[in-house]
Structure 1
Amino acid sequence: MKKTSCAIVHNGNLGSEKFLYQVRWLERSAGELGFDVRTIGNQELIPTIEGGIPVIKGCYAGYEPDFFFFWDKDVRLARHLERMGFKLYNNAASIEICDDKIRTYETLMGQGLRLPKTMVAPLIYETSEITDFSPYDTIIAELGFPMVVKEAFGSFGEQVYLVRSREELLRLVERIKHRPHLYQELVTSSIGRDIRINVVGQTAAAAMRRESEHDFRANVTAGGRMEAYTPTEREKEVAIACANRIGADFAGVDLLFGEDGEPYVCEVNSNAHFKNIFDCTGVDLAVRMLDYIRSERAGRYA
């Protein structure tokens, strides 16, 4: 019987051990689950429009796996592969939404989920300077201090700032004015602590609580501690609803603690790293994600 072929796509120019370790983990897990697996750098798949149709050039021209496990944020490549008829986990749209914090909140609003009060920065072209500061006074009046500022693109809690005064805010705005970003209320009941729930399919597969005594961000890479966590039914419901709304097969959903027990949605990660949560909980998310794909495809083609 022919094995199901799986191509794991990662960023071939991101050579740090932190990333490659997880790529090798995925490759090993896929092989142990019986997939015919290849690990491919995104630069080895060159999206090409030839004769008006999408094709791939490079060393994998003509390669047709049964599916792509897309462990990267190269959404242009992901969309191109989908237009060629390939199935991707996660799909291009969900990766693109999660990669942009503004798009994430736009997608989740109006769904009965609690989101921090959020205001989006006006577009300022790279050839322009700020001439009207009145929007920032409106933002200050609405959100007060301290407030959180987040660049739309960033990972591991980086490009997220806590601002305590108008002067500090304007200095930061001057620095990031040409990059998409947002302003957000500080959820004081969750300073320095949050929950990461990893959703696989319709299941909250693993969860951990993160806490920092020294930083308003709870990210482990920012110095936070982690411990296994049993989420409430509502927290699981919110995390699964976020993944469903975004259209992700699997996602790491970060929730903040609300004063009344109702969680706030902080962000959603389509390519959530899984080493920390394995160290914390013993749940192997690489296996869970690939096993989900195997089951999903068996149902699809049964």
Structure 2
Amino acid sequence: MNLHGWIIYNGNLPGDKFLDFAQWIHEAASRKNSKTVIYQNNELLSLLDASKLDILGHSTAPLPDYAVFADKDIYLARQLELLGIRVFNSSAAIERSDDKIASYQQLASQHIPMPKTIVSPKIFSTGTIGEEITRHAVEELGFPLIIKEAYGSFGEQVYLITNETELYQKANELAGTAFMFQEFISSSYGRDLRLHVVGNRVAAAMKRQSKNDFRANITAGGTMEPYQPTDYEVELAVSAAACIGADIAGVDLLFGPDGSPLVCEINSNAHIRNLYECTGINVAENIIDYILEKLSQQEGGTR
């Protein structure tokens, strides 16, 4: 049975990174005889009515057997699920990944090693972060520490704080924004690991390093090299993805003070081109193989 899929990316973002991801998945699916169509999320509108749920914008084409989401449009992902379509990753996994506070709560609940984190209370933009709150952060985490916004990409919403003046200023600058205070892992300054999880295995991994920034993101100027993860690093990455319910995820690990890895972030729609250029491994092939296998198992279970 040849399965038909949709690949969805955000049509409003500048640049072509997400379209590039969609095309890699599309080409990999084609090689496996699975026909796919690429859509921008703003080409598919969720129709809600007392008599039905529907998707507008896909012409007369049938609804797909599966959808691959290179986007964070949680409502569209959930609409597809309500229509009986298997979405990779699920709307729940995307939601947990997109909200880093929710991710860390899941990690902590499963006792997965991570930096110590304190969640800033919800304060509206007209309020202020009191000194009592920042005092707790300093007492628990010391300096330097990290302030990290709950929503953000490419390391752009992560700030290294070195003193009380910076702490109070940045915290109140972010009043009205969901954010957290986090332990700074100095042993991992400017370096981390990216492990790309597909199902219960790691398909490829790389080490990222920056000479000029505490963040190792490639978009922030970091370099990359192939990396062979240890069995424990693989186990940790797979467990981290599973704890947010992600079938596919780019899991970032930090180097802890004693050399043991810590989970930094779980990315539900991690790009794969850099990983290919670094390792020569096309993770899109692993993703499609996994999706078709899961759907085959699901079909077999319904007979």
Alignment check: 8 A CA contact 2:21 2:70 kept: no
**Corresponding residue number in structure 2 for 1:122:** 121
Cα distance in 1 for partners of 2:113, 2:180 equals 17
Residue-by-residue CA offset, 1:100-133 (whole Å, 9 max, x unaligned): 110000111132311111001111113x221733
Give secondary structure in 2 for the equivalent of 1:13: coil
Cα distance, 1:189 vs structure 2: 1.3
Cα distance in 1 for partners of 2:54, 2:109 equals 38
Cα distance, 1:174 vs structure 2: 2.3
**Corresponding residue number in structure 1 for 2:201:** 203
Task: Give the partner amino acid of 1:183.
Answer: F
**Corresponding residue number in structure 2 for 1:300:** 298
TM-score (norm 2): 0.95
Residue-by-residue CA offset, 1:125-160 (whole Å, 9 max, x unaligned): 13x221733111111121111001100011111100
Alignment check: 8 A CA contact 1:44 1:60 kept: no
Task: Give the partner amino acid of 2:36.
Answer: V
Cα distance in 1 for partners of 2:104, 2:194 equals 17
Equivalence map 1:68-217=2 (5 Å): 68-126=67-125, 128-130=126-128, 132-217=130-215
Alignment check: 8 A CA contact 1:56 1:62 kept: no
Cα distance in 2 for partners of 1:131, 1:273 equals 35
Cα distance in 2 for partners of 1:76, 1:129 equals 30
Residue-by-residue CA offset, 1:178-235 (whole Å, 9 max, x unaligned): 1100000111111111111001111111000111111111111111111000111110
- State the Cα RMSD in Å: 1.5
TM-score (norm 1): 0.95
Give secondary structure in 1 for the equivalent of 2:156: coil
My pick for the range that moved more, 77-86 or 97-106, is 77-86
Alignment check: 8 A CA contact 1:199 1:251 kept: yes
Give secondary structure in 2 for the equivalent of 1:113: coil
Give secondary structure in 2 for the equivalent of 1:109: helix
Cα distance in 2 for partners of 1:131, 1:122 equals 9
Structure 1 stretches lacking a partner, 5+ long: none
Cα distance in 1 for partners of 2:211, 2:130 equals 38
Alignment check: 8 A CA contact 1:253 1:268 kept: yes
Cα distance in 2 for partners of 1:107, 1:131 equals 25
Give secondary structure in 1 for the equivalent of 2:266: strand
**Corresponding residue number in structure 2 for 1:264:** 262
My pick for the range that moved more, 245-254 or 11-20, is 11-20
Residue-by-residue CA offset, 1:246-269 (whole Å, 9 max, x unaligned): 111110000111122321110000
**Corresponding residue number in structure 2 for 1:238:** 236
Alignment check: 8 A CA contact 1:8 1:37 kept: yes
